[in-house]
Amino acid sequence: MAGEQWKSKIGFILAAAGSAIGLGAVWKLPYVAGTSGGGAFFLVFLVFTLLLGTSLLLAEFVIGRKTQKPPIQAYKELAPGTPWYWVGILGIISSCLILSFYAVVGGWILTYFIRSLTGGLTDPPEGNYGILFESIISNHWEVGAAHLGFIVITILIVQGGIQKGIERASSIMMPALFIIFIVLVVRSLTLDGAMEGVRFFLQPDLDSLDGQTILFALGQAFFSLSLGVSIMVTYSSYLSKKESLVRSASSIVGLSILIAFLSGLAIFPGVFAFDLEPNEGPSLIFTVLPAVFNEMALGSLFFTLFLLLLLFATLTSAFSLLEIVVSSVSHSNPGRRRIAAWAGGLGIFILGIPSNLSYGLLSEWLIFGDIFFNQIDFLVSNILLPVGALCIAVFASYFIKRSELREELLRGSSLGSGFFSTWLVLIRYITPLAIIAAFLHVLGVW
């Protein structure tokens, strides 16, 4: 039976933008930009997002909306009797792995948020937020409970379904996130010395571009649009045939870029105004930002707002990562949604326990020289996602009939053949080549 659909186009856009906008834009982009050349990194990221990210997003949309089915079933319908459905299976496995460590960071944010409400962040030991962060993330019971709490919130929303769960929650959380962002950017830009941070973030120093930076920017472009694991196939399978895919994709990409831009503007001016280092790495938002907020008037209020924003951004991404599992199981039998959400969510919680403990009990347990958390992140971001993205690009552009592709892509839009041909070149040649080049670089071939 045909399942549920998004109630409105704007609901779909907010939910999909909610999936895209998350730790990638608000946590990873600023720290990667901070460690790899500021503006130059951001510029390359923009180009990749606009050309390759948007093309791949459209490819996922075509697959999902054409079949109106979750990934495994969608690939089976489009290429019956072939092993392409493994791309769907790979996507589900990758999504579970992403959510397993995503929820750990979600738990840190939840703990920080609760502590910020109860005043537990104002007096760090020895005045050092780095020490506070370490002591919090190695406190198993606290971060374990927060990790579980984050997953349970995700389950409670996803079990409610598309309209009453994900669409409704995203329609509240995403506008709230935008408003909080604007408040924070205004605060940050009015700090004395803010311009130095703006310059660091926006003035590209092209000399600092190297293969590594370009590679990171490519991975970041795919990660921050939630591509490569068929999540956008899943979300677009609930979209009415009346809507234009191109218009929806432009709004989603536009919103994601806007947020990436606002994140940099909210974070770097403060870092520079208070003489802190932009290249702190993954803990940037947990160690540098509290110090920044601590220095400003009403700082603890602004920090609490920032954490709430981060929580919303992380949750709306987590919904999509759980939804792909739930939709695959409950597509033919919507009555199974609730049980699928609980079983999937709790299974992913258990899968995430080693990642959580890698900052405490298991910190000595190294796999190929690094802790479990980092290795899972590496496996997903640098191997599974690019492989998934490559397969989806190849599948859509070589294995779906040209006339069918064209019809689905352009349905409801006034664009013509020129647009279609450009898209096809991007998805058939340029995207696969860029991904293969990135791989060869990782392998040290060039």
- List residues binding ligand TRP (CB under 6 A): 19-20, 22-25, 98, 223-224, 226, 228-229, 231, 317, 320-321, 385
SS (H, E, C) the chain: CCCCCCCCHHHHHHHHHHHHCCHHHHHHHHHHHHHCCEHHHHHHHHHHHHHHHHHHHHHHHHHHHHHCCCHHHHHHHHCCCCCCHHHHHHHHHHHHHHHHHHHHHHHHHHHHHHHHHCCCCCCCHHHCHHHHHHHHHCCHHHHHHHHHHHHHHHHHHHCCCHHHHHHHHHHHHHHHHHHHHHHHHHHHHCCCCHHHHHHHHHCECHHHCCHHHHHHHHHHHHHCCCCCCCHHHHHHCCCCCCCCHHHHHHHHHHHHHHHHHHHHHHHHHHHHHCCCCCCCCCCHHHHHHHHHHHHCCCHHHHHHHHHHHHHHHHHHHHHHHHHHHHHHHHCCCHHHHHHHHHHHHHHHHHHHHHHHHCCCCCCCCEECCEEHHHHHHHHHHHHHHHHHHHHHHHHHHHHCCHHHHHHHHHCCCCCCHHHHHHHHHHHHHHHHHHHHHHHHHHCCCC
User: Quick one: 68 or 226, whose CB is closer to ligand TRP?
Assistant: 226
User: Quick one: 132 or 154, whose CB is closer to ligand TRP?
Assistant: 154
User: Quick one: 68 or 224, whose CB is closer to ligand TRP?
Assistant: 224
User: Quick one: 64 or 124, whose CB is closer to ligand TRP?
Assistant: 64
User: Quick one: 15 or 185, whose CB is closer to ligand TRP?
Assistant: 15
Q: CB of 250: closest distance to ligand TRP in angstroms? A: 17
User: Quick one: 116 or 226, whose CB is closer to ligand TRP?
Assistant: 226
Q: CB of 408: closest distance to ligand TRP in angstroms? A: 22
Q: CB of 226: closest distance to ligand TRP in angstroms? A: 4
User: Quick one: 272 or 328, whose CB is closer to ligand TRP?
Assistant: 328
Q: CB of 17: closest distance to ligand TRP in angstroms? A: 10
d(CA 446, CA 441): 5
Buried (b) or exposed (e) across 335-367, using 16+ Cβ within 10 A?
eebbebbbebbeebbebbbbbbbbbeebeeeee
Q: CB of 310: closest distance to ligand TRP in angstroms? A: 11
What is the distance in angstroms between the CA of the first residue and the CA of the last residue of the chain? 50
Neighbours of 262 (CB within 10 A): 19
User: Quick one: 371 or 389, whose CB is closer to ligand TRP?
Assistant: 389
User: Quick one: 287 or 314, whose CB is closer to ligand TRP?
Assistant: 314
User: Quick one: 92 or 291, whose CB is closer to ligand TRP?
Assistant: 92
Q: CB of 438: closest distance to ligand TRP in angstroms? A: 15
Q: CB of 92: closest distance to ligand TRP in angstroms? A: 11
